[in-house]
Structure 1
Amino acid sequence: MTNLITIQEAVDNFKELIHSAICEGGVKAKEAMIRSSRPINNIHEAVKAELIRNGICPTRIHPALNNTRSELKLAGFIKQKNQDVCVSPENYEPKKVIMTEGLLRGQTDDYGKDYTERTISINIRSQISSLAKNFDTLYERTIAEAINLHVRCPKMVLGEVYMIPVKEYNVSLMDEFRVEFIDRVSSVEKYIKSFQAINGRSKFDREDYKYERVCLLIVDFQQSPSKIYSNNQELYDDGLLEKNSDVSIEELSWESFIKSLLVCYEKRFGDSILI
């Protein structure tokens, strides 16, 4: 399949939509643009494209390529929630059941536990301002999403893409229809350390709060094209990480994200997700 969007194109499209909104309508327009989900949907499409590049049949991806509807609403222990991007299992059909445990006891699950557990779910988030202020809430929410599904479906393979800027947008200048950045650099080391702590759930009988694979997209939107950091050396060179730091962005990089999820799936269920 040709013309699949790359992560670089997706990030640059995200940036263009945010910048255009600011220049045309200031803070309110930027907030409306974010609420529309148009910027983040570019990252969704990049995830789908990468799944296809790695051999996943497009008909098994939900929502379909270039589509934002028909998300799978999967049931966990606490709640049912639409998942951003899913890969449905081969040779398993959804089976509607009445749930018998957890907070959803008595409610209808349209897919059933077997189907849900064999579905790969990838959720995508971004935060472009107030990173320090909102960190605890957003991090706790990220952990809660993994717990919700893993408690009910321990073998389920979960992925998380989280995008942050190295420099935040200057909100105080947006109502002058200006795109400027705050010189203060976000705490890159804190974010890497935090997402390392919930990355790489290799055994399904423990650590429900972890994801099988996390991708932390660290982006400099001030550069053109936007710069996506994939290794520690790039962070060292730009003064974003001390050389004596014990954190590593490599294990959270985009380049190996999808492949890692597929390898984990094959190990966990004993068959290929590509069938």
Structure 2
Amino acid sequence: MTNLITIQQAVDGFKELIETSIIEGGIKAKEAMIRSSRPINFIHEAVKADFIRKGISPDRIHPPLGASKPELKLAGFIKQKHQDVCVSPEGYIPDSEIMTEGILREATDYYGKDYTERTISVNIRSQMSSLAKNFDTLYERTIAEAQNLHVRCPKMVLGEVYMIPVKEYDAAVMDNNVVQFIDKVGAVEKYIKSFQAINGRLDYTREDYKYERVCLLLVDFEQSPAKIYSTNQELINDGLLDESSTASIDELSWETFTNNILSNYETRFGS
């Protein structure tokens, strides 16, 4: 199948949209571009493409390749929510049911618990500024998304792709239509350690706040093409991580993300 975007192409597409908006319209244009979801949709497409490369039929991907809708709106314990990227279960048909537990009791689940639990769901997010300031709120939201689905569907396989810049765009010069970066490195070590703590949920009877697999995309947008970090040594070499740090990106890298998701799914539900 053609048009299967790579993660490098996705990140470079993200970079081009952000930087073009700054050059053409300053900070307001950049903020409008982010709100449009066009940049993050590149990452959505890379996730879908990688599942397809691994043998998933395109008709099981939601939203379809190249589209941002329709998303599956899955019901958890607390809320029903549109999911960023889903892989629907082969051989299962949605079976509407009235929920009997949780806050959504008596609400209609249009897919049913069995179908939902066998659906792979991947959240995709980015945080491009104020990395340290907004961390607590964003991290709590990330944990809550996993808990919402795992409490109701313990065996459900969840993934998270979270992208942050290792150097933030400099907002102080954006209204001069200048693309520039803040020299000080963001909270790289803190993000790695925090996402390590919610990665790798192998026992589905425990730790509902965890994801079966997290991918932390650490990107240097100052470089062209943008540099994606996949190993601790790369981070150490570029002065982004101390050699003595106990943080490790090895199990959070993109390269094994979809493989790990599919392997975990096969362990729980079969191939």
Q: TM-score range by the shorter chain?
A: over 0.9
1:67-78 equivalence runs, <5 A: 67-78=67-78
Q: For residues 27-59 of structure 1, what are the alpha-carbon distances to aligned partners after superposition, in whole Å with 9 as ceiling and x for unaligned?
A: 111111011000000000000000001010000
Structure 2: tracts of 5 or more residues without a match = none
Q: CA deviation at 1:22?
A: 0.7
SS in 2 for 1:182: coil
Q: For residues 100-151 of structure 1, what are the alpha-carbon distances to aligned partners after superposition, in whole Å with 9 as ceiling and x for unaligned?
A: 1111111111000000000000010001101111000000000000000000
1:90-129 equivalence runs, <5 A: 90-129=90-129
Question: Which amino acid is 1:69 matched to?
Answer: K
SS in 1 for 2:138: helix
Q: CA deviation at 1:248?
A: 1.0
How many residues matched? Answer: 271
Aligned match of 2:248: 248
1:34-113 equivalence runs, <5 A: 34-113=34-113
Aligned match of 1:227: 227
1:154-165 equivalence runs, <5 A: 154-165=154-165
Q: For residues 151-195 of structure 1, what are the alpha-carbon distances to aligned partners after superposition, in whole Å with 9 as ceiling and x for unaligned?
A: 000000000000000001111111111111111101211110000
Q: CA deviation at 1:3?
A: 3.0
Tell me how far apart the structure 2 counterparts of residues 241 and 261 of structure 1 sit (CA, whole Å): 27
Q: CA deviation at 1:13?
A: 0.2
Tell me how far apart the structure 2 counterparts of residues 3 and 42 of structure 1 sit (CA, whole Å): 12
Question: Which amino acid is 1:127 matched to?
Answer: Q
Tell me how far apart the structure 2 counterparts of residues 132 and 247 of structure 1 sit (CA, whole Å): 17
Tell me how far apart the structure 2 counterparts of residues 79 and 173 of structure 1 sit (CA, whole Å): 41
SS in 2 for 1:219: strand
Aligned match of 1:182: 182
Percent identity between the two aligned chains = 75
Runs of 4+ with >6 A deviation? none
Aligned match of 1:216: 216
CA RMSD of aligned residues (A): 0.6
Structure 1: tracts of 5 or more residues without a match = none
What TM-score results when the alignment is normalised by the length of structure 1?
0.98
Question: Which amino acid is 1:120 matched to?
Answer: I
